[in-house]
């Protein structure tokens, strides 16, 4: 998502810098009427304003996750030597911190170590949620295809069967 050629992305980054936050909902609410005045008016008339807003929030969040502010990049260069072996393998430039309700760039996370733990816990929860959902889909697959294991009629645990 190059920010230098997309006017919407430029407006997002500018508003993030103006507001001093990296929160999808806050930035989307601040720019929606200015960036999409005709679309917003049509969406309101058709009762779809929340769909437009939610889509913009998703786009803003993706952009914020993939970009770092200029000041964060400067800060990151100063800590790169110390924490580079940990920073380089990271797949994102910022991570969502639930208590702040915004994406926080890695350099700022380093300045607030508790938020590193919070961001990691948030990612881990999301990962577990994904695994749980995959497990539910597997069960659905087994039910649909008839490939579910047939339960035993014997209530005794398998290890007790040979002990008689």
Residue-level pLDDT, tens digit, the chain, 164 residues: 444 458 888 888 888 888 887 888 889 999 998 889 899 899 999 999 999 999 998 898 888 877 765 555 545 556 667 788 888 899 888 899 999 988 888 888 988 999 999 999 999 999 999 999 999 999 999 999 988 766 666 665 555 555 54
> Dihedral angle at the C-alpha atoms of 31, 36, 42, 46, nearest 10 degrees?
-50
**Three-state SS at 48:** coil
In whole angstroms, what is the distance from residue 23 CA to residue 98 CA?
A: 10
Domain range for residue 44? 1-67
Q: Is residue 11 part of a domain?
A: yes
Closest CA to 64 of 29, 31, 92: 92
Q: Which residues contact 69 (CB under 8 A, 6 or more apart)?
A: 13, 16, 17, 22, 105
Q: Is residue 56 part of a domain?
A: yes
Q: Is residue 23 part of a domain?
A: yes
Q: Is residue 49 part of a domain?
A: yes
Task: Supply the pTM of this predicted model.
Answer: 0.55
Q: Is residue 3 part of a domain?
A: yes
Q: Is residue 54 part of a domain?
A: yes
Q: Which residues contact 139 (CB under 8 A, 6 or more apart)?
A: 148
Instruction: Work out how many domains the chain is built from and give that number.
Output: 1
Structure tokens at 92: 């994102």
Task: Please give the pLDDT value at position 64.
Answer: 81
């Amino acid at each position: 998502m190059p920010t230098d050629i997309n006017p919407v992305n430029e407006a997002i980054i500018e508003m993030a810098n103006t507001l001093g936050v990296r929160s999808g909902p806050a930035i989307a609410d601040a720019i929606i009427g200015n960036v999409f005045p005709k679309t917003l008016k049509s969406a309101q008339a058709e009762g779809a304003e929340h769909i437009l807003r939610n889509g913009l929030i998703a786009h803003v969040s993706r952009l914020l996750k993939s970009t770092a502010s200029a000041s964060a990049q400067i800060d990151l260069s100063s800590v790169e030597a110390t924490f580079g072996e940990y920073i380089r393998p990271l797949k994102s430039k910022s991570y969502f911190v639930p208590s702040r309700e915004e994406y926080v760039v890695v350099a700022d996370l380093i300045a607030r170590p508790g938020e590193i733990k919070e961001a990691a816990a948030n990612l881990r929860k999301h990962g577990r949620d994904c695994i749980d959902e995959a497990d539910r889909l597997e069960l659905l697959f087994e039910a649909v295809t008839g490939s579910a294991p047939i339960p035993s009629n014997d209530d005794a645990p398998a290890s007790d069967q040979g002990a008689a």
